[in-house]
């Protein structure tokens, strides 16, 4: 590791830099980023028969030069040290940046090793806090020993969430190739495959109309093509799952949780003890038939980044267990989130009786639209002719799934956890430790008011838990338990005029 | 049982919202309305298009003037020892409870029209996300500052 001349002062270690091999390791990703940001120009060069004239070659050299320059500057200027237990990172040539990361604020750390790292025996260390989006500390090329040592030092710094005597790890979950393949199949990409199929057909209609006509004239050709696209979608899904989750293992120690996975790029995610904010258990129909569930573990780290980048709250997860056998689920969940065992057996509180109507309406509308549009627009393209009757079948199927959704939905409050279950075809159970609740939201739309039902949204730093539609009494119980005394108690929730504080007259709006 | 002392907003808040609504309609919707009228002349006569356009603009203005009264009546807040409660929404009702020790920071914000009326919006953040968790608009400047100081006084551990 490149040592600088700065001596350690007080509780500080000396400044250290990246390994020289980072020049090679970082050049390719940086070049890719540059290409992505300047793709219209590159497209013009390529489509315009470029890379021949001096101007075109000049632009390509500029792209390469920019990436090379940034990579060299990054290597020369990035320095880090531990200063009184805090990680201090300096970088930048013209715009200097100095960042201090408090170990107590670290939500998770991640060691990433792509094939280039592996060649040089290096690793990338990512450190995420709840403060900002993205990896707040990113050290792109350290030796494995140095990165692990730094990770351990941060974990044992004053204020960090680690316990004395930590070190021994128990493996609590392991996914073999069959399980990862099963996960890939159960994720499914049929919807995306349909979209790609539609776009491809539109492209062929515009640019290769005779080829399209001759192909589609053959009996069953449309159906075969669709089947090929759906199969390709599944192949993509299974392939990406294997690349991402091959050799998945989950370990637990007194320090917290650690996962490792990946075929080419190995990721090792460390979640300190007590940092888990939210667990989501996804049990699609296919996974239930296989006897498995997927568990997403959320902390306050990357979720804020995902939200900033436009993703819905709760869309990102720090770590995920691709497949957990149903019979092992309770003990795995208890290992990930201590306190779960006390919640068992899970006797769910039901959603409101009248919520059945809105659930059937929603299901019917969703499936009528989906199958109706398919029958009207896509079926003719497949050579089956218009199948508008699919809309009626969708209505019946949607009403049935709405009824089953309503029956599946439930909630439970324990002394330590809030639990919610929703969805029949794609069942999801969400768990939040009560100690992590940041705010509680009580919502009622006009249709819900008609049926006298409410929804409670529980916000934690890692996402949101949403209850099914429940009665006012249940909403009052949850809201009161998590947010203090319920504001619904006493009078109806809204009488048109807010009650004024004792001894004062309510203010009237000026007109 | 802990008492919840609900507070209404300053009555000037309804006036402020009306002014903001009218400005939004005149600046934002008028160009769209003119575009619509021009478009409708291809379907109907100019006279009919003008009547329909003026009608739509009139409806938007009526909504901008009347709706703030309902919003004002629906809005209330309470500061308890343990939590801040904010209730709002006419069609879609929304009540939020933020435990006091979870409040990370609070902002006071004033636009140009707010400043002219001497009103301020108080925005409260927790660690739950990058957005605001609750906001109380139309507060008198002095009240807003006191409320902010009160909320930030005993925020406790606020850990995540």
Could you read off the pLDDT of A41-90 as tens digits, one per residue? 777 776 665 556 777 778 778 888 888 898 999 899 999 988 888 888 88
Does residue A310 have a pLDDT over 60? no
pLDDT band for A158, please (50, 70, 90 cuts): low
> Is residue B1 included in any domain, yes or no?
no
Does residue A388 have a pLDDT over 70? yes
Q: Within this chain, do residues B143 and B92 fall inside the same structural domain, yes or no?
A: yes
Return all residues near A193 (Cβ < 8 A) that are at least 6 apart.
A229, A230, A232, A233, A234
Q: Within this chain, do residues B58 and B94 fall inside the same structural domain, yes or no?
A: no
User: What's the confidence (pLDDT) of residue A304?
Assistant: 46
Which residues 285-344 of A have a C-beta within 8 angstroms of B? Answer: 300, 303-304, 307-308, 313
CATH of the domain at B115: 2.30.29
Percentage of residues in chain A with pLDDT exceeding 70? 82
> Is residue B113 included in any domain, yes or no?
yes
Q: Which of A487, A491, A504 is the best mutation test for B, with the most CBs of B within 10 A?
A: A487
- In angstroms, the CA A354 to CA A32 distance is 54
Q: Within this chain, do residues B116 and B140 fall inside the same structural domain, yes or no?
A: yes
Closest chain A residue to B133 measured between Cα atoms?
Answer: A439
Question: Which one of B5, B85, B94 has the shortest CB-CB distance to A502?
Answer: B5
User: What's the confidence (pLDDT) of residue A160?
Assistant: 62
Domain that includes residue B124, residue range: 76-153
Which residues 95-124 of B have a C-beta within 8 angstroms of A? Answer: 95-99, 102
Domain that includes residue A194, residue range: 184-245
* Strands of the sheet with B119-125, listed across from one edge: B105-109, B119-125, B134-140
Q: Of B54, B72, B90, which residue constitutes the final position of a domain?
A: B72
Does residue A314 have a pLDDT over 50? no
Beta-carbon pairs below 8 A across chains A and B: 135
User: What's the confidence (pLDDT) of residue A193?
Assistant: 73
By the 10 Å C-beta count (0-12 exposed, 13-18 middle, 19+ buried), A158 is classed as exposed
User: What's the confidence (pLDDT) of residue A495?
Assistant: 37
- Does any CB of chain B come closer than 8 Å to the CB of residue A445? yes
Does residue A308 have a pLDDT over 70? no
Q: Enter the DSSP assignment of A500.
A: P
- Does any CB of chain B come closer than 8 Å to the CB of residue A493? yes
User: What's the confidence (pLDDT) of residue A494?
Assistant: 42
Question: Which one of A130, A439, A498 has the shortest CB-CB distance to B98?
Answer: A439
Cα A452–A455–A459 angle (5° rounding)? 160
> Is residue A383 included in any domain, yes or no?
yes
Higher pLDDT, A497 or A159: A159
> Is residue B83 included in any domain, yes or no?
yes
User: What's the confidence (pLDDT) of residue B27?
Assistant: 87
Lookup: tokens for A288: 């239930």
- Does any CB of chain B come closer than 8 Å to the CB of residue A498? yes
Instruction: Average the pLDDT over A389-417 and give the result.
Output: 94
Instruction: Decide if A442 and B4 are in contact by the 8 Å CB cutoff.
Output: no
Instruction: Average the pLDDT over A372-396 and give the result.
Output: 85
Residues of chain B with pLDDT under 70: 1-2, 129-132, 154-160
Q: Enter the DSSP assignment of A438.
A: -
User: What's the confidence (pLDDT) of residue B45?
Assistant: 80
ipTM value, please give it: 0.86
Q: Within this chain, do residues B57 and B116 fall inside the same structural domain, yes or no?
A: no
Q: Within this chain, do residues B97 and B68 fall inside the same structural domain, yes or no?
A: no
Q: Of A408, A428, A455, which residue constitutes the final position of a domain?
A: A408
> Is residue B56 included in any domain, yes or no?
yes
Neighboring chain A residues of B130 at a CB cutoff of 8 Å: 133, 304, 307-308
Neighboring chain B residues of A479 at a CB cutoff of 8 Å: 95, 97
Q: Within this chain, do residues B41 and B82 fall inside the same structural domain, yes or no?
A: no
Question: Which one of A449, A459, A497 has the shortest CB-CB distance to B133?
Answer: A459
Closest chain A residue to B159 measured between Cα atoms?
Answer: A436
Q: Of B72, B92, B124, which residue constitutes the final position of a domain?
A: B72
User: What's the confidence (pLDDT) of residue A165?
Assistant: 47
Does residue A220 have a pLDDT over 50? yes
> Is residue A207 included in any domain, yes or no?
yes
User: What's the confidence (pLDDT) of residue A454?
Assistant: 95
Q: Within this chain, do residues B67 and B121 fall inside the same structural domain, yes or no?
A: no
Q: Of B72, B94, B110, which residue constitutes the final position of a domain?
A: B72
Task: Identify the CA nearest to A130 among candidates A488, A463, A490, A498.
Answer: A463
Q: Within this chain, do residues B100 and B131 fall inside the same structural domain, yes or no?
A: yes
Instruction: Decide if B15 and A510 are in contact by the 8 Å CB cutoff.
Output: yes
User: What's the confidence (pLDDT) of residue A338?
Assistant: 82
CA B116 to chain A, closest CA, distance in angstroms equals 16
By the 10 Å C-beta count (0-12 exposed, 13-18 middle, 19+ buried), B47 is classed as exposed
By the 10 Å C-beta count (0-12 exposed, 13-18 middle, 19+ buried), B144 is classed as buried
- Does any CB of chain B come closer than 8 Å to the CB of residue A509? yes
pTM for this entry? 0.78
Q: Within this chain, do residues B82 and B121 fall inside the same structural domain, yes or no?
A: yes
Does residue A261 have a pLDDT over 70? yes
Instruction: Average the pLDDT over A109-113 and give the result.
Output: 88
Q: Within this chain, do residues B106 and B89 fall inside the same structural domain, yes or no?
A: yes
Lowest-pLDDT range, A176-180, A308-312, A393-397, B135-139? A308-312
> Is residue A58 included in any domain, yes or no?
no
Return all residues near A78 (Cβ < 8 A) that are at least 6 apart.
A17, A18, A89, A90, A91, A139
Instruction: Decide if A509 and B83 are in contact by the 8 Å CB cutoff.
Output: no
DSSP letter string, B47-116 = HHHHHHHHHHHHHHHHHHHHHHHHHHHH-EEEE-SSEEEEEE-SSSEEEEEEEGGG--EEEEE--HHHHH
Question: Which one of B12, B68, B128 has the shortest CB-CB distance to A460?
Answer: B128
Q: Of A408, A425, A444, which residue constitutes the final position of a domain?
A: A408
> Is residue B50 included in any domain, yes or no?
yes
- In angstroms, the CA A425 to CA A410 distance is 15
Beta strands in A220-275 (DSSP E): 249-253, 256-261, 266-272
pLDDT band for A244, please (50, 70, 90 cuts): very high
Instruction: Decide if B128 and A446 are in contact by the 8 Å CB cutoff.
Output: no
Q: Of A361, A376, A408, which residue constitutes the final position of a domain?
A: A408
> Is residue B159 included in any domain, yes or no?
no
pLDDT band for A243, please (50, 70, 90 cuts): very high
User: What's the confidence (pLDDT) of residue A510?
Assistant: 41
Report helix, strand or coil for A365: helix
Neighboring chain B residues of A498 at a CB cutoff of 8 Å: 6-8, 73-76, 87
Instruction: Decide if B97 and A498 are in contact by the 8 Å CB cutoff.
Output: no
Structurally, chain B folds into a number of domains equal to 2
Q: Enter the DSSP assignment of A352.
A: P
- Does any CB of chain B come closer than 8 Å to the CB of residue A487? yes
Does residue A296 have a pLDDT over 80? yes
User: What's chain B's average pLDDT?
Assistant: 86
Instruction: Decide if A443 and B93 are in contact by the 8 Å CB cutoff.
Output: yes
- In angstroms, the CA B84 to CA B124 distance is 9
Q: Within this chain, do residues B143 and B103 fall inside the same structural domain, yes or no?
A: yes
Peptide bond into B62 cis (omega under 30): no
Instruction: Average the pLDDT over A162-182 and give the result.
Output: 80
Structurally, chain A folds into a number of domains equal to 2
Report pLDDT digits (tens) over A341-380: 777 777 899 999 999 999 999 999 999 999 999 888 877 7
């Amino acid at each position: 590791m490149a040592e600088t001349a700065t001596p350690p002062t007080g509780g500080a270690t000396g400044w250290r830099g990246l390994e020289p091999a980072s020049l090679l390791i970082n050049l390719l990703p940086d070049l890719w980023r540059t290409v992505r940001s300047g793709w219209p120009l590159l497209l013009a060069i390529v489509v315009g028969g470029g890379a021949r004239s001096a101007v075109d070659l000049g632009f390509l050299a500029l792209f390469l030069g920019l990436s090379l320059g940034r990579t060299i500057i990054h290597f020369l200027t990035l320095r880090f040290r531990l200063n009184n237990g805090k990680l201090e990172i300096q970088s930048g040539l013209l715009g200097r940046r100095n960042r201090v990361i408090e170990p107590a604020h670290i939500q998770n750390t991640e060691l990433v090793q792509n094939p280039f790292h592996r060649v040089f025996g290096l690793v990338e260390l990512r450190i995420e806090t709840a403060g900002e989006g993205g990896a707040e500390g990113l050290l792109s090329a350290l030796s494995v020993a140095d990165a692990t040592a730094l990770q351990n030092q941060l974990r044992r710094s004053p204020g960090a969430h680690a316990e004395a005597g930590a070190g021994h790890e128990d493996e609590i979950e392991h996914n073999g190739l069959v399980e990862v393949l099963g996960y890939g199949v159960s994720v499914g990409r049929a919807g995306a495959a349909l979209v790609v199929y539609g776009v491809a057909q539109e492209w062929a209609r515009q640019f290769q109309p005779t080829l399209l006509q001759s192909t589609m004239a053959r009996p069953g050709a449309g159906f075969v093509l669709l089947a090929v696209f759906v199969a390709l979608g599944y192949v993509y899904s299974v392939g990406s799952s294997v690349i991402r989750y091959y050799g998945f293992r989950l370990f637990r120690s007194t320090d917290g949780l650690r996962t490792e996975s990946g075929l080419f790029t190995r990721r090792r995610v460390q979640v300190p003890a007590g940092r888990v904010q939210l667990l989501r258990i996804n049990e699609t129909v296919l996974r239930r038939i296989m006897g498995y569930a997927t568990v997403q573990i959320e902390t306050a780290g990357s979720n804020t980044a995902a939200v900033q980048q436009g993703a819905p709250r709760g869309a990102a997860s720090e770590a995920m267990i691709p497949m957990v056998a149903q019979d092992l689920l309770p003990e795995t969940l208890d290992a990930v989130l201590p306190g779960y065992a006390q919640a068992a057996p899970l006797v769910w509180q039901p959603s409101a009786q009248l919520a059945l109507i809105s659930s059937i309406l929603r299901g019917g509308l969703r499936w009528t639209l989906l199958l109706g549009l398919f029958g009207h627009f896509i079926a003719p393209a497949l050579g089956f002719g218009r199948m508008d009757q699919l809309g009626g079948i969708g209505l019946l199927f949607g009403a049935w799934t709405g009824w089953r959704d309503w029956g599946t939905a439930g909630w439970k409050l324990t002394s330590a956890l809030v639990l919610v279950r929703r969805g029949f075809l794609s069942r999801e159970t969400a768990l939040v430790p009560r100690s992590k609740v940041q705010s509680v939201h009580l919502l009622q739309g006009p249709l819900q008011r008609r049926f006298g039902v409410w929804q409670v949204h529980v916000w934690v730093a890692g996402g949101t838990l949403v209850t099914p539609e429940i009665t006012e009494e249940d909403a009052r119980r949850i809201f009161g338990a998590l947010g203090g005394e319920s504001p619904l108690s006493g009078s109806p929730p809204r009488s048109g005029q807010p009650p004024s504080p004792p001894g004062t007259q309510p203010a009237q709006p000026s007109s | 049982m802990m008492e919840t002392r609900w507070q209404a907003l300053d009555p000037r808040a309804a006036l402020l919202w009306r002014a903001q609504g009218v400005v939004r309609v005149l600046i934002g919707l008028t160009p769209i309305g003119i575009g619509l009228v021009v478009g409708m002349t291809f379907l109907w006569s100019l006279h009919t298009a003008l009547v329909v356009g003026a009608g739509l603009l009139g409806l938007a203005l009526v909504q901008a003037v009347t709706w703030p009264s309902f919003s004002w009546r629906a809005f209330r807040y309470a500061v308890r020892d343990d939590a801040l409660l904010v209730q709002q929404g006419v069609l879609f009702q929304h009540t939020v409870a933020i435990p006091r020790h979870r409040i990370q920071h609070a902002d006071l914000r004033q636009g140009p029209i707010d400043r002219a009326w001497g009103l301020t919006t108080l925005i409260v953040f927790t660690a739950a996300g990058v957005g605001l968790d609750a906001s109380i608009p139309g507060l008198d400047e002095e009240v807003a500052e006191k409320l902010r100081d009160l909320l930030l006084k005993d925020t406790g551990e606020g850990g995540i």
